[in-house]
Amino acid sequence: MLFHSLLALLGERLGSPGLGDEDFMLKHNLRKARRDLQAEFEECPEKFANLVANLLQEERRILRLGQRP
């Protein structure tokens, strides 16, 4: 469910009037990210959830290492 919400949010961001011609590359990158995410995880959004969970776990580990004296 959250995966589809992410795709919808990317779609909304692409259509928002706040992105002008100067943000052409941003629009291009968002479109590509949306297509890539959809292609990779549409059939199994649980894979995406696991990927995000693993990345967050790794980030917590890195932050803990950075707090050591």
pLDDT, one tens digit per residue, over 29-63 is 888 988 999 999 999 989 999 999 999 999 999 99
Q: Where are the domains of the chain?
A: 2-67
How far from the centroid of its chain's Cα atoms is residue 17's Cα? 21
Q: What are 5-37's pLDDT values in tens digits?
A: 888 888 887 776 665 666 778 888 888 988 999
Tokens of 67: 């707090």
How far from the centroid of its chain's Cα atoms is residue 41's Cα? 12
Provide the residue count of the chain: 69
> What pLDDT is attached to residue 22?
64
> What pLDDT is attached to residue 34?
87
| Closest to 41 measured CA to CA, from 3, 5, 10 | 3
> What pLDDT is attached to residue 18?
62
